[in-house]
Structure 1
Amino acid sequence: MLKHWYQAKKPHKITGKTTSSRTDKQEPSAVIKKYDAIVAGAGPAGLTAAYFMARDGLDVLVLERGPYAGAKCCGGVSIMADHVHKLFPNFWEECQCERIITDQSYWWMTEDSVLSTRFQSVRLAAAPYNRFSVKRSNLYKWLADKAAEAGAQVLFKHTVTEVLFNDGQAVGVVAVNGGSSKYLADVIILADGANALLAERSGLAAPVSAENISLYVKETIALPSSVIEDRFNLPSGQGAIIGLIGYPTAGFNGTGSIHTFRDSISLNVGMPVADFAQAGFNPNELLERIKKHPHIKTLIAGGQTIAYGGSLIPEGGYYAVPKLVHPGLMIVGDAGSLVNGTHGINLAMWSGFYSAKAVYGAKTSRDYSVRKLSLYTELLNESFIMQDLKANAGVAKLMRDLPYAFDLYSRMANETAYQVSRVYTMPKRAKRIMIYKKVTSMQPVLKILSDAWKALKVIR
């Protein structure tokens, strides 16, 4: 299935056409009213945009294909408290956060070993905090409630299938809910997720490349709160996040993670869809593989699986960001590939906020041209979002150029640590020479230096 998906998603040339051909043969019903803005998708980016537009007095409609906000999501993530606090002051008093993250670590793994870097600090537990673990469904529901309370109309079970154009200007959408309906607005905001199908169908962006999008599988495992705190050595109410590198992705560049919640933990692992297609194995096999690792097996022992799912995450970086502003239309969040390493939901929310500012400016001047809506990209470019993306623009290419990096260097690091830990009946100088020979037999010195130089040029 993944191989077929990979072939179907190969990029094709954009023609610049600004109209889309209807695939739904049923004629949409008559328009009931016209809105100031329509948001396609009730994720963090779309709902944040809807909230701030509605708060500023605009008439906003959100259309979401799921039965409720977060219905398509599984597991949880961490959110950067300061970023969200600036948008929604003291959000932790309203949003159902799971744990305050005070323990952050990375595991460089092989099949039988872990070399870890770990940082713990009580300072991270002080307001306005640093990170929280949250369940996606709770976060999305909270944002949907905020948008609705501000005055936005949120319709669920409405799948947007098409953007409507008039002389190249976006003027509305067609949504399906049993039958087809037409909704008109001055501005359309596409927040339909990593696949970005609406932009593709409208001829506004190329299909998402299988090299630039990763598939992650996720499992939530229930455990008593006291057990989680005991196994992860955590104070009450505090949490840990562990990044997993090397072994979890079976020789390919990808990552895994462990998030601790109040009474459950989440295991995630994934890699680019193109790598899944090349490897030919089922994504679930990665998750089952990682659950059997001796250092993870003890963490989840006795737990019960309560949720399982997957998600697509755009990881093409700066060069994969499409044109974000079109006449009467903007693209936000994952649909615009606005994701950068540890920042996902945070960047999505800020992109929604900036798009809302642009819509408000366009509304006051009654000008919905690219020139006016480009305030959105101006704000993005001045913010940490695009600056971070640009600074790390070469990471995606680096991962393609060094497909062995995570697996090989995890093995080298663990082998070095193992040999250093062993006690031999030989002089220390002889032991150092032996370790050097073992490591350089895995990767020649000049190749190590070359790879390090490539990484240093990219990571800034």
Structure 2
Amino acid sequence: MENFDVIIIGGGPAGLSAAISAAKAGMKTVVIERGDYPGTKNVMGGILYTKATEMVVPEFWKEAPLERPIIEQRIAMLSGDESILAGYRDPAWGSEPYNAHSVFRVKFDRWLAQQAEKAGAMIITETIVEDLLYKGDNVVGVRTGRAEGDLGAKVVILAEGVNNFIAVKAGLAKPLRPEHVAVTVKEVISLPKEKIEDRFCLEEGQGATIELYGDSTAGMMGVGFIYTNKESISIGVGTILQQLIRNNWTPNDLLENMKSKPYVKRLLQGGETKEYLSHLIPEGGYTQVPKLHRQGVMVVGDTAMLMNSLNREGSNLAMISGKIAGEVAAQAINSGDISDHGMSVYEARLRDSFVLKDLYHYRHMGKFFEENTHLLKIYPKLFSQAAKMYLTADGTPKKQRQKEIIKMAFENRSKGGLIKDIYGAWRALL
């Protein structure tokens, strides 16, 4: 049986970040990836945040396969054929230091794997890890589906993505529940770069994002998104699996519903669908973060439910958790303490970082939206009606129109209901 210092299960951003930091620390490191190569099985909306990525690979933007630097982020609230828009644009985000880029995971993950190999890590592909290996209660390696496929390790890092099979077997996580994951579908639609820049009011090479709420998910808890690439648009929608089942929607029908909205349809006009992808993303939030460590094991990225749903951040949490796990693995091995106590340094460092601080801050959000399913049905319609009434110039005095808007609001939601919703949102988000 070949032995390593660190074995990492999964070749996504979290696992590869762990591999880079462990290998740079001098550890004999291997990443086991089930796909043909890292990136083939990995899907995300398509936004990569600069700060976290630079902490793993300094000045990565000079050579990584990126699409467009994001200089504008918009939010759209849809109600029927109507839309309310808000956004923020900073042209400075189009130059160093960047804030974020649009990317394709199949390209970026493959490049990141090459950085792990340059750091000294080994990548084993087309291999599935079936379980951890134990000597008594101690983890000593992994068992793969290959003949003579047992590999020894001092520390194993679980970066298997949202499908947390090994973490469950190891007693660290619970099986996934439909209320704790979202189903997301995504299409890549080709468009000439000139059309993209014209429709999104961008200078050459610049990028923008749009997040869509309300009727983009038929009033269910979730979000639609549109991201600009060099010569294509990534468009997708995701919603909680439990609500999707309850409301008898299919993911594809939900996507087609959003694409039919006038605001969205115009942006896609003349495009041709080149790819269709679907995946699960963790939505359990802070309360569903599993046990992050045990003797010889750490859990990172999506496997650890590290997803900030409100801000649509996942890749940066994954990469920072992986980087920290790789560093802790090296420190623990060098000190000779790979006990559960030795691994606990990983959780302590996560709690000192933005990763768990942000998840803890929004710990009430999931329950709030789960218990108030009316929010994305009533309020987009209410705000849309109010905007239309106020902005329609038909000779009605503005003071009278304001009174009409207040009356309309109370007809859609009682005064007590409005107060309850405002207080609940304040408690969940602030």
Q: Normalised by the shorter chain, which TM-score bucket?
A: over 0.9
1:430 to 391, 400, 423: 400
C-alpha distance in 1, partners of 2:152/2:346? 21
- Give the drift of 1:421: 1.7
Trace 1:301-340 onto structure 2 (pairs within 5 A).
301-340=269-308
**Residue 55 of structure 1 pairs with residue 32 of structure 2:** no
CA contact (8 A) 1:75 1:307 kept: no
- The AA in structure 1 aligned to 2:403 is I
Post-superposition CA distance 1:179-233 (Å, at most 9, x none)? 4611111111110001211111233221122111111011110101011001111
1:63-82 paired onto structure 2 within 5 Å: 63-74=32-43, 76-82=45-51
User: Cα deviations across residues 285-331 of structure 1 (Å, max 9, x unaligned)?
Assistant: 00111111111111111111111111111111111101111111111
| 1:176 pairs with 2:145 | yes
Other structure's SS at 2:150 match: strand
Equivalent pair of 1:75/1:266 in contact (CA under 8 Å): no
Match of 2:83 among 106, 114, 130: 114
Structure 1 residue 238, shift from structure 2 partner: 0.5
Which residue of 353, 356, 372 corresponds with 2:323? 353
Per-residue CA deviations over 1:36-64 (Å, capped at 9, x if unaligned) read 01101001100000111111111111111
Q: Equivalents in 2 of 1:180, 1:316: separation in Å? A: 37
SS in 2 for 1:99: coil
For structure 1, which segment, 200-209 or 224-233, has the greater mean C-alpha deviation from structure 2 after superposition? 200-209
Determine which of 365, 371, 388 is the counterpart of 1:418: 388
Query: 210, 213, 224: which is aligned to 2:192?
Result: 224
Q: CA deviation at 1:375?
A: 1.2
Aligned to 2:53: 84
Decide whether the 8 Å contact of 1:110 with 1:414 is kept in 2.
Answer: yes
Q: Do 2:181 and 2:241's aligned partners in 1 also have CA atoms closer than 8 Å?
A: yes
Contact 1:74 1:308 in 2 (8 A): no
Task: Select 2:106's aligned residue among 114, 119, 137.
Answer: 137
Which position in structure 2 is the counterpart of 1:6? none
Q: Report deviation, 1:116.
A: 0.5
Aligned position for 1:9 = none
Q: Deviations over 1:382-440 (max 9, x none)?
A: 11111111111111111111112122211111111111122234333332222222222
1:196/1:74 CA distance change after superposition, 3 Å: closer
Separation in 2, partners of 1:440, 1:60: 62
Q: How far did residue 97 of structure 1 move?
A: 1.1
- Structure 2: give runs of 5+ residues left out of the alignment: none
1:13-412 counterparts in 2 under 5 A? 31=1, 33-74=2-43, 76-177=45-146, 179=147, 181-341=149-309, 342-412=312-382
Instruction: Give the superposed CA RMSD.
Output: 1.3
Task: Specify the code of the residue in structure 1 equivalent to 2:166.
Answer: L
When structure 1 is superposed on structure 2, of 220-229 and 167-176 the one drifting more is 167-176
Query: TM-score scaled to structure 1, two decimals?
Result: 0.91
What's the offset of the Cα at 1:74?
4.3
CA distance in structure 2 between the aligned counterparts of 1:411 and 1:171, rounded to whole angstroms: 57
Alpha-carbon distance in structure 1 between the residues aligned to 2:100 and 2:429: 23
Equivalent-residue separation in structure 1 for 2:329 and 2:396 (angstroms): 72
For residues 89 and 205 of structure 1, what CA distance do their matches in structure 2 show? 33
Task: Spell out, residue by residue over 1:358-380, the C-alpha distance to the aligned partner (whole angstroms, 9 max, x if none).
Answer: 11111111221011111111110
Residue-by-residue CA offset, 1:253-306 (whole Å, 9 max, x unaligned): 111110000000011101111111211221110011111111111111111111
AA at the equivalent of 1:339: M
Residue type of the alignment partner of 1:338: L
For 2:15 and 2:83, the matched residues in 1 are separated by 39
* Cα distance between partner residues in 2 of 1:129 and 1:297: 30
- Counterpart Cα distance in 1 of 2:361 and 2:158: 26
CA contact (8 A) 2:172 2:293 kept: no
Between the aligned partners of 1:358 and 1:75, the Cα distance in structure 2 is: 27
Residue 452 of structure 1 is aligned with which of 405, 419, 422?
422
* TM-score normalized by the length of structure 2: 0.97
Cα distance in structure 2, aligned partners of 1:353 and 1:36: 16
The equivalent of 1:15 in structure 2 is: none
Cα deviation, residue 76, structure 1: 4.4
Kept in 2, the 8 Å contact 1:358–1:374? The answer is no
CA distances 1:13-46 after superposition (whole Å, capped 9, x unpaired): xxxxxxxxxxxxxxxxxx2x11101101001100
CA contact (8 A) 2:65 2:108 kept: yes
**Contact kept? 2:30, 2:122, Cα under 8 Å:** yes
Letter aligned with residue 385 of structure 1: V
